[in-house]
Structure 1
Amino acid sequence: MSCMHVDCRWGSYGEWSECDGCSRTKVRTRHVEVYAQFGGAPCSGEATQHTAMCLKERMSPGNRLQSLVCNGDQDCEDGLDERNCDGDNSQYSCDLNKTPPNSGVTGRGYNVLTGKLRAGVINTLSFGGQCRKVFSGDHQDSYRLPQNILRYNFEVTVENEDSDESYDSSWSYMQHIQANALVGHDRRSFHKELTDNKNKVELAQFQNSAPQYLTLAEGFWKALSSLPYTYDYSAYRQLFERYGTHYLSEGKLGGEYQGLLELDRQALDSTRNKVNNMPIKVKVFGGDTALTGALTLLDLDNPEANGENYDNWASSVKDFPEVIDMKLRPLYELVKEVQCAGLKKVHLKRALEEYLSEEHPCHCGPCQNNGKPLLTGSECHCACRPGTSGHACEQGAVIGEQPGVIDGSWTCWSSWGTCIGSKKTRTRRCENPAPRNGQHCIGEWSEVKPCEDPDIRYLQTMEPQCFDLPVTPPKTCGAPPNLRNGYIENPRDFYLVGNTVQYSCIDGYYLIGGAVAQCTETQKWRTESPVCKSATCGFPLLNSDIIATPIEAAYQIGHRVSLSCPAGSVLYAEEVSEIMCSPSLQWSPSPASAHCKAGPTPPPGLKCKPWENLCARLGSSRTRELSLCQLGALRCLGRSFELATDCDGPQELSLSCEDCKPGTVCQESKCVSERVRLPDRLRPLCTKTSDDSVAKTMTECEVGARRCANEQVHVVGIEACPE
């Protein structure tokens, strides 16, 4: 059975939109009337058409960020908020402006139909007067978080092992991913096995704040300002084309490699030819684009080269990270800070539903043999079940099923009908195709909703000027004043006279002054001068060779930090081997004098066994006998010591015990050097080096030495392991 080619056909253009204040153009849109299918020609040209220049006053941000003026941060992307300031940096919000690597991508829009990032919708360079820092151990540097990022973790994870997923056919693969992965797939044989390999390199994880706390990107804000107050699909569709349908609520920065390898069993069995180089369909996110070409070919005779190509790409991800594993929220949630924002949000929500329906497969005609229609752009394709092929899956028969069985599928939803009794209805039919001895359509055939949107009814009260209603709008205040290093709890779109807001401080700061601000009759905010004061110490200023443990972006009062030196060197000033964040938010003692010097080498001829004591000078003059384990612990801590010659035994230091110095003991009325002896037998411990390893007996000294070398050793018992 053959099928007729169906060519794509455009519908008529709609009306011209109002003049856009940003682009100064008008736009009109046309829809696809008939989608291409069964090998027909797709539509040429674009869905939208623009006019020449039209005149309309450009939008100005006005006082949108007035409370952030002259705070040292360029919260406006054009820098106007810091222009003509007096240069007094005492009002600056923070001493750091460097944001995490490639954090600007967290503010991009995303189009779910194309699967691509679009222009920025969130201002990722605005800090909102907050000084929030995060430390990267990988970069050994601190970064300042922009206001849009609620949480940002530097945590590197690499999944190098292939997560192989095999499928018996293209149909089963398509069913698994529920997407149009087979667009353009025109092979006639479906005796194939598909293997899907996925590898990820994660560098950081982020979460954006709730939409009411996000600062809009300047271009996106202007585009919202230019949207018409009446519903015009052409104008609202243009916003989706440029900025996407959704924004990122959270995700991971890194890279991802997906390889789809397709094997034709029938062809391989019939020819029995050996294939050395096998092409592989890949999707690569992140990493150096110059290295992705080598990932598209699999050399079966040289697996080492395949692994090297992957390693080269994975190593480049840290310099070229992209967003992977993202979670999305609809773009209309960000409509705010513009005239008639509530009304435009309702219109944008309606336009999104219409925009997404443009590429719904219900526009396609039915495929034969229960194939699944897939729609991309203006072209429909059929994903065929195993045993069938052809543009309409008209060739062959489904393996393991009775012939002539047809499962039902829905048509597209109709337009909303006229209002009857304050409600309106839309319907769809189960006849695309109609079921025959197969499954019926799942879901409801009709939907009902109120004629008057409850959101519109509320907005007519709050924004009557947007509906040309002869009603005086209620008195409101603008956005509350910004609190440096603080925020407003549960911000709203409207603040009526008499409304109050509650201030809080970010982590590491505490509030002084009144926490409440009120919208007064004069439509201005009355505050009680709230101030957020720091309650943490910053990272200590150290010489470049000093190692601090633990490393944090900020430290609470009472937190301690150990100072040490790299291998082969020791601390010069032992008295500052540990510092503490004091109540004055200063480090005590000051770490300024701490620096490293070359460590001593053992004197020649020193031949001590691990269980014997060594003679060492601590500091400038003290001499003590220490065990090898004790010296190892001192070295781990960066303590300074010098190995002396072998100690023969306690030395007499004085004839009286009246003035015994530290490091000496009274013995037979005399002060002698203190001798520290090990027990006759080192204590055995039962240990494991990992959760699934075999338990092994080690001495205390060996456990300490391994931990000192950063090995993971877990003590599971204080006795020797059972035989």
Structure 2
Amino acid sequence: MLLWIITMKHVFLHEVFLVSLLSSAAVIHAVSVRSIRSVSEPVHCKWGPWSPESWSACDGCSKTQTQSRSIAVFSQFGGQPCTGSSSRTQSCISAQVCPLEEGCGERFRCQSGKCISQSLVCNGDYDCEDSSDEWKCDSKVMCDLQKPPPNVELTGQGFDALRKEARGTVINTKSFGGLCRKTFSGDRKDLYRLPQSVLRYTFQVTAKNDFTDESFDSSWHYLNHIEKHSRTSGTAYGHDDYVFHNELLQSQSKNLLIMKSDVDVAQFQNQAPEYLPLSEEFWKALLSLPVTYDYAAYRNVLERFGTHYISEGTLGGQFRLFLMASQDIIKKLQSVQRDYKQCVKTSHSILFIIRWTTEDCKEEKINEEQPFYESIPKNDMTTDIFGGDPAYIAKLSMLNKNTPVENGRAFSQWSGSVKGFPKVIKPKLRPLHELVKEVSCAGVKKHHLKRAIETYLSEKHSCHCRECKNNGLRVLDNDVCKCVCKPGTVGQACEYGTPQDEQPGVIHGDWACWSSWSTCKEGQKSRSRSCSRPTPSGGRDCIGNAMETTVCDDDQELDYLRSMEPHCFENSLTPRKSCKIPPFLANGFVLYPKDAYPVGSKIEYACIEGFHLTGDPIAECQENLDWVRHQIECKKPLCGLPQLPSDVTGSPWKPTYNIGEAVSLSCPEGKVREGPGEIQCNAGLSWSPQPKETSCLTVFKPTTLPVQCQPWENLSKDKCVCKVPHECKSSLEICATDVKRGRTRTLSLCKVQAMRCLGHQYTLAEDSACKWPHRSSTACPDCTLWETCDEKTNSCRCKTSEECSSPDAWIHVCVQQEGASAPVTMTECEVAVRKCRGEALHIVSIQPCQS
């Protein structure tokens, strides 16, 4: 049996190419093949010639020039990798003036040399990264909030699509640009100020810790599945978020199971590239780029800052667990479930991390043995963890299959720590050349950087590798070509054995590299590739198109740039007359900004979210190279968050409120509000009454007596509620009238009161208005509530008044006794007992008598 040890890194895949970061594979041969040497001869790495343009132009700032070279042949089949650097630098003497030494005209010059608007100077914000714009200033506050969202600096990093890692910062995430935009954190009730670079920043109130799983027949099938994302005929940049781990084991007899869990802390979206402020280091690098195309100089920028920037993404963490095991073990792991009697829901065991969903699940119930776990070797399980506290990462990396509860705790600790130590996950990438601006000849340099990125990405592609035998997958790892073998095959070139799922000798086709673009003809250019690495023989043909055609926009773009920036193509030409950057508008911006504004150009202003524009938004560049702009202002028709005392709670609670919107004020349990219970956003954009007039006072609850309900009521949550009539127990029968229906009949006193409680109108009627049922027997089984059984005579007798105990349990009515001058209040039990004895009593009201 052959065991490949493959080391992989966290990567993001490009649609144009696939680079799988695999470590040098130490092949452990079985005894039967240990003495067999690979029939594939080693291929040693070879450098190509140094750049044909020779040395780059001498940089006026660093007084250096560079020269570059590319790898012509990548090492493969155990060959020696290339040594040395792909570029070299030497000192030189330049006649050119360093652009950083040039002035900024009417704009303010930071210590770095970068120019910013004078309106950003002395506004209380550090719009220069070195804070030089605030050095000689009186105290002034542009915004009442200075705290940016946590870890927002991660959103400004560049990304190298070849190395699959973050590079230098390209976006200035420290500058607010004179804007006062706020975002609200719902979980901590904190407000943050958004940098100029961020369009949206949304906090995730609760992190999702759910697991998903994906299984493959082998590591070859996994990598082949990923590579399909790159087999396209186009050149559009894409993004995929597959994650590779560090020490994945591959075996021809084992399947691969990948468990995934993402913890999202916040989602963000950066501004469009024309509105993104550049970091000063990246800006200086752009400023120093030559106007003529020099790949060595432009590649140096790509190696420092990457090939892409992040347009949007998520801050959080990622957990991946990779397991090599037999198919039956993986099926058991994916299906094992436990039902706990004390749990409301089913708990699911995902590998060795047990997750449960209710508080009723007891920890001691989880220590259930899984015998099939024991058959999984420790080295066949590994993790890749991205984001989170390093201490918890180390702990979670050492999962023990025999201690699921401890694994669960370790995962919970790690996921809880991601909030404080997030990374950018699931990013969407945009090519770096979109950020070329704010420097001389920006249009030309943007064109050259785009060309350099295409060359840079195409230099290191697995299509440069020689084909593998037995349909092995060729990958490029750190400038070394390697073969990932299908199950059943081994060797440097996968030359030994036969694939388990294929017939011997079957060869599937794979693409060679794209050719260079043809010259333009009738406004179009094309390129081609052949299905020859290897050519198919009895197997599948290559997937995708062999020819790609696109519009020739390069020549048109260069013609346009020659008209807009003629001095960038010929030093003797005079730059086109243009206005400087449009005047600053507080809490506003220019729609569709450009690199140059020739005479006659018009621009349009707009306001940021939460502000309303008043005045003419159009400005025009005049012959005198000044902007003509009418009176214009961005007004804020909103109130900000009211400043409440610490123990006062407002609802609804949000960053801004429209004029007329109200906030209700309340106090926590155990305290009582003193002052206004509601405040309102007024036309002056302030709160009235003032929030400070409301406070919370601690009160001590008096000892409350138990609630005593009427017989026609029930007790519910310390309150008395009306009974439904059928809930009434036996009660005194009276003659009553339903006023709405005009119906008179006998009803129990409890039912009448219950109906009145529920809102129905019932009045007391004369006894003669009702038809009373005739009593046919006075034997004991037929005794009424007001009678008791005389066992000696086996007949019913009237109760005594003393037997009408607990007066509170009976309904009280007003009764007129015969011969009495005034009515008196009696319980229904006493009335019934006296009537039973033959006394003449007349109920005048079903309420107690008025004293």
Aligned to 2:152: 103
The alignment partner of 2:49 has SS state of strand
Q: Among residues 110, 134, 142, which one is paired with 1:82 in the alignment?
A: 134
Write the mapping of 1:662-701 to structure 2, written as runs, cut at 5 A. Answer: 680=757
Instruction: Note the C-alpha offset of 1:421.
Output: 8.4
Mapped partners of 1:49, 1:107: distance in 2? 29
Residues 187, 199 of structure 1: alpha-carbon distance in 2 compared, 3 angstrom cutoff: closer
- CA deviation digits over 1:74-94, x for unaligned, max 9? 211122223333x262xx431
Instruction: Note the C-alpha offset of 1:404.
Output: 1.6
Aligned to 2:449: 348
Instruction: Note the C-alpha offset of 1:598.
Output: 1.5
Write the mapping of 1:4-403 to structure 2, written as runs, cut at 5 A. Answer: 4-14=41-51, 15-21=54-60, 23-52=62-91, 57=98, 59=100, 62=104, 63=107, 64-66=115-117, 67-85=119-137, 87=138, 89=140, 92-178=141-227, 189-263=251-325, 274-275=375-376, 277=378, 280-403=381-504
Q: Residue 467 of structure 1 aligns to which amino acid in structure 2?
A: F
Q: Residue 569 of structure 1 aligns to which amino acid in structure 2?
A: K
The alignment partner of 1:298 has SS state of coil
- CA deviation digits over 1:642-674, x for unaligned, max 9? xxxxxxxxxxxxxxxxxxxxxxxxxxxxxxxxx
Structure 1 moving runs of 4+ over 6 Å: 179-188, 265-268, 418-424, 610-614
Mapped partners of 2:525, 2:487: distance in 1? 43
Deviates more, 1:157-166 or 1:334-343: 157-166
Residues 24, 470 of structure 1: alpha-carbon distance in 2 compared, 3 angstrom cutoff: closer
Mapped partners of 1:215, 1:298: distance in 2? 44
- CA deviation digits over 1:94-150, x for unaligned, max 9? 121110001011111111112211111111111122110111122321111011111
Residues 307, 679 of structure 1: alpha-carbon distance in 2 compared, 3 angstrom cutoff: farther
**Any conservation in 2 of the 1:610–1:628 contact (CA below 8 Å)?**
no
- CA deviation digits over 1:290-318, x for unaligned, max 9? 22122223212110111111111111111
Mapped partners of 2:612, 2:553: distance in 1? 50
**Any conservation in 2 of the 1:278–1:299 contact (CA below 8 Å)?**
no
Mapped partners of 2:322, 2:132: distance in 1? 50
TM-score by length of 1: 0.79
Deviates more, 1:289-298 or 1:96-105: 289-298
**Any conservation in 1 of the 2:530–2:546 contact (CA below 8 Å)?**
no
**Any conservation in 1 of the 2:314–2:427 contact (CA below 8 Å)?**
yes
Aligned to 2:21: none
Residues 272, 477 of structure 1: alpha-carbon distance in 2 compared, 3 angstrom cutoff: closer
- CA deviation digits over 1:387-409, x for unaligned, max 9? 22222121221223222222222
- CA deviation digits over 1:142-182, x for unaligned, max 9? 11101111111112342323212121211221133338988
Identity %: 45
Write the mapping of 1:212-611 to structure 2, written as runs, cut at 5 A. Answer: 212-263=274-325, 274-275=375-376, 277=378, 280-416=381-517, 426-441=527-542, 442-445=544-547, 450=552, 453-468=555-570, 471-573=573-675, 576-603=676-703, 606-608=705-707
**Any conservation in 2 of the 1:280–1:297 contact (CA below 8 Å)?**
no
Q: Residue 607 of structure 1 aligns to which amino acid in structure 2?
A: P
Instruction: Note the C-alpha offset of 1:463.
Output: 0.7
**Any conservation in 2 of the 1:252–1:324 contact (CA below 8 Å)?**
yes
Aligned to 1:651: none
Aligned to 1:622: none
Mapped partners of 2:73, 2:273: distance in 1? 39
Mapped partners of 2:57, 2:269: distance in 1? 37
Corresponding pairs, count: 618
Residues 128, 184 of structure 1: alpha-carbon distance in 2 compared, 3 angstrom cutoff: closer
Q: Residue 226 of structure 1 aligns to which amino acid in structure 2?
A: S
**Any conservation in 1 of the 2:126–2:175 contact (CA below 8 Å)?**
yes
Mapped partners of 1:433, 1:375: distance in 2? 17
Aligned to 1:673: none
Mapped partners of 1:468, 1:565: distance in 2? 73
Residues 579, 678 of structure 1: alpha-carbon distance in 2 compared, 3 angstrom cutoff: farther
**Any conservation in 1 of the 2:526–2:547 contact (CA below 8 Å)?**
no
**Any conservation in 2 of the 1:11–1:31 contact (CA below 8 Å)?**
yes
Instruction: Note the C-alpha offset of 1:534.
Output: 1.7
Residues 493, 276 of structure 1: alpha-carbon distance in 2 compared, 3 angstrom cutoff: same
**Any conservation in 1 of the 2:76–2:482 contact (CA below 8 Å)?**
yes
The alignment partner of 1:585 has SS state of coil
Mapped partners of 1:204, 1:611: distance in 2? 56
The alignment partner of 2:70 has SS state of strand
Larger Rg: 2
The alignment partner of 1:353 has SS state of helix
Q: Residue 32 of structure 1 aligns to which amino acid in structure 2?
A: I
The alignment partner of 2:220 has SS state of helix
The alignment partner of 1:580 has SS state of strand
Mapped partners of 1:291, 1:501: distance in 2? 53
Instruction: Note the C-alpha offset of 1:599.
Output: 3.1
Instruction: Note the C-alpha offset of 1:214.
Output: 1.0
The alignment partner of 1:110 has SS state of strand
Aligned to 2:6: none
Instruction: Note the C-alpha offset of 1:519.
Output: 0.7
Instruction: Note the C-alpha offset of 1:236.
Output: 0.7
Q: Residue 691 of structure 2 aligns to which amino acid in structure 1?
A: P
- CA deviation digits over 1:579-615, x for unaligned, max 9? 11111111111111211122331315x112699999x
Mapped partners of 1:339, 1:53: distance in 2? 23
Once superposed, what is the RMSD of the aligned Cα atoms?
3.2
Residues 446, 308 of structure 1: alpha-carbon distance in 2 compared, 3 angstrom cutoff: closer
Mapped partners of 2:709, 2:266: distance in 1? 44
TM-score by length of 2: 0.68
Instruction: Note the C-alpha offset of 1:231.
Output: 0.9
Mapped partners of 1:278, 1:490: distance in 2? 56
Instruction: Note the C-alpha offset of 1:26.
Output: 2.4
Mapped partners of 2:672, 2:561: distance in 1? 70
Q: Residue 50 of structure 1 aligns to which amino acid in structure 2?
A: T
Deviates more, 1:588-597 or 1:358-367: 588-597
Q: Which runs of 5+ in 1 are unaligned?
A: 615-625, 632-676, 683-723
Mapped partners of 2:512, 2:598: distance in 1? 47
The alignment partner of 1:304 has SS state of helix
Mapped partners of 1:516, 1:417: distance in 2? 44
Deviates more, 1:12-21 or 1:382-391: 12-21
Instruction: Note the C-alpha offset of 1:267.
Output: 12
Mapped partners of 1:355, 1:373: distance in 2? 20
The alignment partner of 2:285 has SS state of helix
**Any conservation in 1 of the 2:291–2:568 contact (CA below 8 Å)?**
yes
Residues 366, 182 of structure 1: alpha-carbon distance in 2 compared, 3 angstrom cutoff: farther
Deviates more, 1:231-240 or 1:507-516: 507-516
Residues 183, 577 of structure 1: alpha-carbon distance in 2 compared, 3 angstrom cutoff: closer
Residues 437, 512 of structure 1: alpha-carbon distance in 2 compared, 3 angstrom cutoff: same
Mapped partners of 2:84, 2:74: distance in 1? 14
